[in-house]
Copies of this chain bind each other. A is one copy, B any other.
Amino acid sequence: MPINSRVIDNPKSDRVKRVAGLASHKTRERVGRFLIEGPQSVREAVRWRPDVVQDLYVQEDASPAVRGIEEESQDSTIYVHHVTAEVMARISKDAQGIVAVGNAAAMDVSPESLEIGPGALVAAFWQVRDPGNAGTVIRAADAAGCAAVILVDDCVDRLNPKTIRSTAGSLFHIPVLTMGTDEFFAFAAARKMPVWAADVYGVPGREPEALPDVLANLGKDGQGKGGKDERAPKAVLFGNEARGLEPAELERCERIVSIPIYGKAESLNLGTSAAVMLMSLAMSSHAGTIWAV
């Protein structure tokens, strides 16, 4: 609500140093705050998760678009501070006139509270390490209407500034959780969600099923050849960007599904694979009645 009337003009002030320090994982852990950079991410945070946003730092000569975000923030208890261009440059190279400081604890979601409706899709990523990839897959999961994203095992921090930028706001649209591997499979079992592995290799004796065949059968029995309740939710688990999933994880998955490559390309990258797999499943379930004819 309140706009601080004094323009912050000292790039060496403690406050400015504290905000700039949120680029570091250690500092984020210690102070429980994180940085949201740039108009797109800040706008989506203010719009969808005003409860998360504590402070807004707006460059004094900001564009009308940025001013609009500042205005929108006034419906909530968000503190606005105007800063000089020099101060903003010290805070972030990717501000484009605006950053926000968020409360990390407010981003936490307990697995128990997750709403996973009939037919819902949950996107899970095992050991995704690159911040840009993590953001891209969260955005793809959002576009596909996933109920949640689960970062499994040792993944990049979902509050890494580069991850947030790469989500293009999607971090504030859907719940993003982190879990250990055992915890993830236990969670899926408790929610009666079969886990499908997205993987091109499979394990000895278990060739992956091709995605087009899986899609073609989805409309008929809801779970493809395995045939269970058509409206059961499911989780799709993707592997590390370089190494994929390991046999131990694959063995625990109900099905293994691969995206076919029709040309000479060796593979699709993680972001593209996630988008193709999740959007295909979403499109087939949304066109369910048509696919079944």
Q: Which residues of A contact B (CB under 8 A)?
A: 48, 136, 139-146, 168-170, 173-174, 211-213, 215-217, 259-268, 271-272, 275-276, 279-280, 282-284, 286-287, 290-291, 293
Identify the closest chain B residue to A273 (Cβ). B275
Rounded to whole angstroms, the CA-CA distance of A174 and B263 in the bound complex is 8
Select which of B139, B146, B264, B280 is within 8 A of A173 by beta carbon.
Answer: B264
Select which of B142, B143, B213 is within 8 A of A287 by beta carbon.
Answer: B213
Residues in chain B near residue A48, CB distance under 8 A: 264
**B143 and A291 within 8 A (CB):** no
Q: How far is the CB of A254 from chain B (nearest CB, A)?
A: 21
Best-buried of A144, A169, A173, A275 by chain B (most CB within 10 Å):
A275
Given A173-B265, A262-B143: A287 and B212 within 8 A (CB)? yes
List 7 A-B pairs, minimum CB-CB distance, nearest first: A145-B262, A212-B287, A173-B264, A212-B283, A216-B290, A142-B265, A142-B263
Residues in chain B near residue A168, CB distance under 8 A: 265-266
Select which of B170, B260, B279 is within 8 A of A259 by beta carbon.
Answer: B279
**B291 and A216 within 8 A (CB):** yes
Residues in chain B near residue A213, CB distance under 8 A: 287, 290
Select which of B144, B265, B275, B291 is within 8 A of A263 by beta carbon.
Answer: B144
Identify the closest chain B residue to A141 (Cβ). B263
Select which of B143, B174, B262 is within 8 A of A144 by beta carbon.
Answer: B262
**B283 and A143 within 8 A (CB):** no
Rounded to whole angstroms, the CA-CA distance of A144 and B48 in the bound complex is 36
Q: How far is the CB of A289 from chain B (nearest CB, A)?
A: 9
